[in-house]
Amino acid sequence: MEKEKLRVMRDDPVMFSKLVLKFNPFDYQEKLLRDDSDRLIAISGRQIGKSTCSAIKLIHFAITHPKTTSIIVSATLRQSMETFSKVLDFINSSILKDSVKRMTKTHILFKNRSRIICLPSGRYGSTLRGLTVSFALIDEASFIHEEVITQAILPMLATTHGKIWMLTTPYDKDHITYRCFNSQNWSVYHLPSSVSPLIKKEFLDEQRQLIGEERFRLEYLAEFVDDVNSYFPMTLLRPCFEDCLEDLKSDKEYFAGYDPGSKESFAAIVVVERLKDHIYTRYFRAAKNIPYSQFTVEISDLHKKFGLVNLAIDMTGLGNPIVEHAKEIGLPVTGFNLTQRFKEELLSNLRILFEQKKISLPQNLQLINSLNCIEYQRTRTGGYQFSHRIGTSDDLAYALALACWAVKEYSGKGILMGI
């Protein structure tokens, strides 16, 4: 009987999950767990339990395949550690604790000499090279630069004939995730958030109102975005994702951009740090229906604590009194009218920073979406006309562009000239 039980647990990850991890997967998670294809892609909405499910699959694989290496890769270490922490939680709260030889926050070695490692892909995949892998789990693959997947991750599986799973919320169509999603050679799943019995319709309705239609379609309905007219397409942004949000410190050189928004739109502030000729996005916040005075106090507090070097404010519309007020309270501020011409210069400066990979962005959907939603059209005079897709907000993007402009203004010839 015991032997039979062991055989079942070895052959069936679902029974393994129930009996060993004491975790009951939902129906669609059972399907994923039992899927033995070497190439699997699940395009899913938020919070359906994809990281949890992949953690179970990885543990089962490691336990049943001695001497193998499995990896969890995401664009940033923060993201892959989040999934890895689910692996650790399962192991620490089950009998598998006794099967572990060594365990750290990013690495487990089992007594059967299998290991699971969690890694960031980094911009160029350099953290990954040199590994030979039997199972690569790419969590939130949509945010990883495609070349890292094709040139660093897939080759690791060459000699082991290993498995690759990509589980991700979707993004643009100009990416390997979209092509795999439409490929005959991959086992394909489409799982909107409504599949999860834990997610109620009322919650989804509320989110639709709060985050806007476009982000809702992406994050909860798991639909790809068409970003061919984007001024900041995902292919441009992807190589710039990095863990860069951090607690601000008073000995650093910070610059800020502030878009006060209007009644209907968001007010947004972004703080960046210049370090040599690179810009790191360190802090951002956007909110609707907040009185200007509250944001001004917030910026003033930021300045008192961390000493902003330069602050650029959009003073189009109602922004002028804000600039005056900010000057009165001693902030190092410059106000800008966002005329068509100036918008072109402002966004073009930011775009060049992305093209030259001189800026780092956190992997945050609100910020990414705010940039990606900006579309452009050429005008008859050869300039650009900007708009943003319906149901999106571009306020954070403008605040970021202003913060980078504040760096450029302060640095004379500007960061692009090699200060």
Ligand X SMILES: Nc1ncnc2c1ncn2[C@@H]1O[C@H](COP(=O)(O)OP(=O)(O)OP(=O)(O)O)[C@@H](O)[C@H]1O
Q: How far is the CB of 219 from ligand X (least distance, A)?
A: 8
The region of 44-52, 248-256, 276-284, 331-339 touching Mg ion under the rule CB under 5 A is 44-52
Nearer to Mg ion, 189 or 410 (CB): 189
Q: How far is the CB of 53 from ligand X (least distance, A)?
A: 7
Q: How far is the CB of 87 from ligand X (least distance, A)?
A: 11
Nearer to ligand X, 31 or 278 (CB): 31
Nearer to ligand X, 87 or 133 (CB): 87
Nearer to Mg ion, 53 or 402 (CB): 53
Q: Residue 142, interface with Mg ion (CB under 5 A)?
A: no
Q: How far is the CB of 34 from ligand X (least distance, A)?
A: 14
Nearer to Mg ion, 53 or 401 (CB): 53
The region of 46-54, 175-183, 337-345, 371-379 touching Mg ion under the rule CB under 5 A is 46-54
Q: How far is the CB of 368 from ligand X (least distance, A)?
A: 14
408 binds, among ligand X, Mg ion, none (CB under 5 to 8 A by kind): none
Q: Residue 51, interface with Mg ion (CB under 5 A)?
A: yes
Nearer to Mg ion, 51 or 310 (CB): 51
29 binds, among Mg ion, ligand X, none (CB under 5 to 8 A by kind): ligand X
User: Applying CB under 6 A, which residues contact ligand X?
Assistant: 24-26, 29, 46-52, 198
Q: How far is the CB of 110 from ligand X (least distance, A)?
A: 22
SS3 string, the chain, reads: CHHHHHHHHHHCHHHHHHHCCCCCCCHHHHHHHHCCCCEEEEEECCCCCHHHHHHHHHHHHHHHCCCCEEEEEECCHHHHHHHHHHHHHHHHCCHHHHHEEEECCCEEEECCCCEEEEEECCCCCCCCCCCCCCEEEEECHHHCCHHHHHHHHHHHCCCCCCEEEEEECCCECCCHHHHHHCCCCCEEEEECHHHCCCCCHHHHHHHHHHHCHHHHHHHCCCCCECCCCECCCHHHHHHHECCCCCCCCCCCCEEEEEECCCCCCEEEEEEEEEECCEEEEEEEEEEECCCHHHHHHHHHHHHHHHCEEEEEEECCCCHHHHHHHHHHCCCCEEEECCCHHHHHHHHHHHHHHHHCCCEEECCCHHHHHHHHCEEEEECCCCCEEEEECCCCCCHHHHHHHHHHHHHHHHCCCCHHHCC
* Residue sitting closest to ligand X (CB): 49
Which residues sit at the interface with Mg ion, rule CB under 5 A?
Answer: 51
